[in-house]
Amino acid sequence: DAGVTQSPTHLIKTRGQQVTLRCSPISGHKSVSWYQQVLGQGPQFIFQYYEKEERGRGNFPDRFSARQFPNYSSELNVNALLLGDSALYLCASSLRTGDSGANVLTFGAGSRLTVL
């Protein structure tokens, strides 16, 4: 079975540009979450989506946005990139939300974003 897949795996952008990262959850998983992992630190929660609705948002500026599609895949968009946005962006999926199954997250390998 395919796990959580993310694309692209690596990308380089310059300050001020915009980036779109994509995620396909495990088949049957309806909830997708996004995390930012800066080098040497633990992942930080950005968004959670379930059934195309935003269910949670972390402490990130409005330059960060996301959406979930009817097939449960998701995109993370970051506008007006800053040097500090350089990080590994992780997508995680879970079966559902609102019960004990919500916490069991499976992560993808991530998209490594470098902002120059």
Residues that bind other proteins (CB under 8 A): 4, 31, 33, 35, 40-45, 48, 55-56, 58, 90, 92, 94, 97-100, 102-110
**Cβ 15 to other proteins shortest distance, Å:** 25
Q: Cis bond leading into 8, ω under 30°? A: yes
Q: Which residue has the tokens 């897949």?
A: 5
**Cβ 85 to other proteins shortest distance, Å:** 19
Q: How many CB atoms lie within 10 A of CB 64?
A: 18
> What sections of 48-111 are H helices per DSSP?
none
Nearest to other proteins of 83, 104 (CB atom)? 104
- The span from the CA of 49 to the CA of 97, in Å, is 9
Nearest to other proteins of 44, 86 (CB atom)? 44
Nearest to other proteins of 79, 102 (CB atom)? 102
